[in-house]
Amino acid sequence: MPSPRRNVEGRPLGAAASSSSSPGSPAHGGGGSSCSSRFEFQSLLSSRAPGADATCPRLRASESPVHRRGSFPVAGAGPSQASPPQLPEEDRMDLNPSFLGIALRCLLAIDLWLSKKLGVCAGESSSWGSMRPLMKLLEISGHGIPWLLGTLYCLSRSNSWAGREVLMNLLFALLLDLLLVALLKGLVRRRRPAHNQMDMFVTLSVDKYSFPSGHATRAALVSRFILNHLVLAIPLRVLVVLWAFILGLSRVMLGRHNVTDVAFGFFLGYLQYSIVDYCWLSPQNAPVLFVLWNQQ
Ligand SMILES: CC(C)=CCC/C(C)=C/COP(=O)(O)O
């Protein structure tokens, strides 16, 4: 009597096997819990082929290896005769976790864990709650409004062309920063950490989102700008860098952001300065701006 055809796991194939292949049956991978845990594992770790079904896709009869381009030894091959099973390419892909996916999930898990640990000033009752007023003062020092108003005020008082040129570019940098951060926040829509209290001074509607940190972008942008365009003694230069770093850290300590929001914010702010430097506005390439301002 011919032995029944078997699948890669040595289980019988055909009508009898498929009729018993309800979710949870052995034909689905040795029991419901094994099947569902495998599915959860796969959905966690792998990006599956488009169109794949959400129910133990690799073991469905219509997709079983015997139905694919001769990828599996078939007729009369009992378990004893079968050569070691060769999984078709697609199935191997299915079992193969995406390492980028795993790396990202690990990074996110570490990010959330670390951000929660560092959020020591998130509330008055937090372990460093008494430092909260100081952190909020730092928050104001990196807020968009004082920087915009301060730049406009200095621009109105400046009576040298060189000063006006630098301030005009600082204004351009601050506006570019606001625009890019708002765009990214609106696109990514990452919620602020659960332990954050939304008690910030003047916010835009996108500021309910946390990625990237607007304070971190501004801190990196402004400090790079100052270091490149103001002649400062070394201690003051160190102070500028320290301010940017502490401002970024304070965002996580206040519970406003996760660490990755701030890290990416620093990176973006650094990049924004390069854009501003590249598009540097001067009376030569943007005469209209300078003439208009002079007429004010
Ligand atoms: C209203 C204006 C002109 C700027 C808003 C500045 C602001 C509140 C940014 C949010 O910063 P985080 O993303 O670091 O929380």
Whether 9 is in a domain gets the answer no
**What pLDDT does 292 receive?**
75
Evaluate whether residue 189 is within a structural domain: yes
Render pLDDT for 181-192 as a digit per residue (tens, 0 to 9).
Answer: 999 999 999 999
In a domain, 10, yes or no: no
Residue 39: inside a domain:
yes
Residue among 257, 190, 176 nearest 222 (CA): 176
Do 126 and 85 lie in one domain? The reply is no
- Looking at 68, 95, 122, which one is the last position of a domain? 95
Tell me, what DSSP letter sits at residue 188? H
Q: What per-residue confidence (pLDDT) applies to 94?
A: 56
| Tally of CB atoms within 10 A around 34 | 14
C-alpha torsion 210→212→214→220, nearest 10 = 150
Q: What is the pLDDT of residue 288?
A: 84
119 & 198 share domain? yes
Residues of the chain with pLDDT under 70: 1-96, 294-296
CA 112 to chain centre: 12
At residue 287, the pLDDT reads: 85
Whole-number Å distance, alpha carbon 216 to ligand 1 midpoint, is 10
Tell me, yes or no, whether 136 and 253 share the same domain.
Answer: yes
| Inside any domain, residue 105 | no
- Long-range contact list for 57-65, CB < 8 A, 24+ apart? 57/94, 58/91, 58/94, 58/95, 59/7, 59/21, 59/27, 59/28, 59/29, 59/35, 61/13, 61/17, 61/18, 61/21, 64/7, 64/13, 65/7, 65/8, 65/91
Domain range spanning residue 251? 113-295
Q: Is residue 178 part of a domain?
A: yes
Tell whether 146 is covered by a domain.
yes
Residues 287 and 149 in one domain: yes
Please tell me whether residues 142 and 278 are part of one structural domain. yes
Task: Mark whether 77 and 40 lie in a shared domain.
Answer: yes
Are 162 and 59 within one domain? no
For residue 107, is it within any domain? no
Site residues for ligand 1, CB cut-off 6 Å: 143-145, 178, 200, 202-204, 207, 213-215, 251, 256
Q: What are phi and psi of 163, to 5 degrees?
A: -65, -45
Task: Based on the fold, state whether residues 187 and 152 are members of the same structural domain.
Answer: yes
Domain boundary among 95, 125, 159: 95
β-strand partners of 209 = 191
User: What is the separation of C-alpha 159 from the centre of its chain, rounded to a whole number of angstroms?
Assistant: 44
Catalytic position from the list 28, 67, 143, 215:
215
The domain total for the chain is 2
- Are 165 and 203 within one domain? yes
Instruction: Tell me whether residue 143 is one of the annotated catalytic residues.
Output: no
Asked whether residue 33 falls in the same domain as residue 139, the answer is no
Q: Which of 177, 189, 203 to mutate to test the pocket of ligand 1 (most atoms within 8 A of CB)?
A: 203
Indicate if 152 and 190 belong to the same structural domain. Answer: yes
pLDDT, position 90? 54
- Beta strand extents in the chain (DSSP E only): none
Query: Could you tell me if 49 and 155 lie in one domain?
Result: no
* pLDDT value at residue 187: 98
Predicted ipTM? Answer: 0.96
